[in-house]
Amino acid sequence: VPEDYDEVGLAHVHFVGLDTDMSKQTYEASIPINKALDRRGDVLLAFEMNGEPIPRDHGYPVRAVVPGTVGARNVKWVGKVLASKTESQGFWQQRDYKNFSPSTDWENVDFDRAPAIQDMPIQSAIAAIEGGLEEGGDDEEEGVGSLTIKGYAYSGGGRGVARVDISIDGGKTWEVADIKQGGWKHGDYARTWTWALWEHHVPEAKLKGLEEADICVKATDTSYNVQPERIEPYWNLRGVLANSWARQKVPLRREAA
């Protein structure tokens, strides 16, 4: 890429795969050239993984690794890299991985009016719930017991996870989870590429008298983007970027008679 790429109008970097689909089209995608050339963007052409040649399933001989960007742009089996004035015209750049209004369906969709997804939105997931579960039978121990809820959160574009909020009453009240690994860094809000692993402990006293815990999780990133409560206003025909609250209802042990 020439140093004066901006002056000559180069705006995108294409990754062209060696694999083809049934119509003999290669898989290819592109990212903005500013992302590709930014030293703090950490874009890689990976030849190795854990000190060994990158496995075929992960993209041998070369894979594009574009941190903070949707997986569709992290092209496997790369055979060619191009600097271009225009975005990739490949199917998966132009006719998929785009977001639309809930009113859009396959009869009226216009892919040319929507940008290709690059950064991912803030999201979270519940990975494990320990304790407090309904185990059935009359021999269970007295008392509700405590709950420990674990999961991950992530935001694209290098934005770190600033906070993860947990509710056990369907979103009426909230507490802040502990981020055990990952999350945001002081003074560097735009170079966080990993999941934030979080954990929250709910003591027995807060569960006493409840028949179930209606657990809700919402994360906030360093740009203060926050997950929406419901999926309905964000539903789209492709089902992409569905990042509403993570939710799970958990039955609790009842006190023994």
Per-residue pLDDT of the chain (257 residues; tens, 9 = 90+): 777 888 889 999 999 999 998 888 999 999 999 999 999 999 999 999 999 999 999 999 999 999 999 999 999 999 999 999 999 999 999 999 999 999 999 999 999 999 999 999 999 999 999 987 545 545 455 556 789 999 999 999 999 999 999 999 999 999 999 999 998 888 778 899 999 999 999 998 999 888 899 999 999 999 999 999 999 999 999 999 999 999 999 988 654 54
Tokens at residue 60, please? Answer: 């041998």
Q: What is the spatial distance between Cα 36 and Cα 42, in angstroms, rounded to a whole number? A: 8
Residues 124 and 227 sit within 8 Å (Cβ to Cβ): yes
Query: Taken in order 113, 219, 229, 132, is the CA torsion positive or negative?
Result: positive
> 106-117: per-residue pLDDT in tens?
999 999 999 999
> 84-95: per-residue pLDDT in tens?
999 999 999 999
Instruction: Specify the pLDDT at position 135.
Output: 52
Instruction: Specify the pLDDT at position 36.
Output: 95
Report which of 45, 43, 24 is spatially closest to residue 32, judged by C-alpha positions: 43
Report which of 185, 176, 180 is spatially closest to residue 158, judged by C-alpha positions: 185
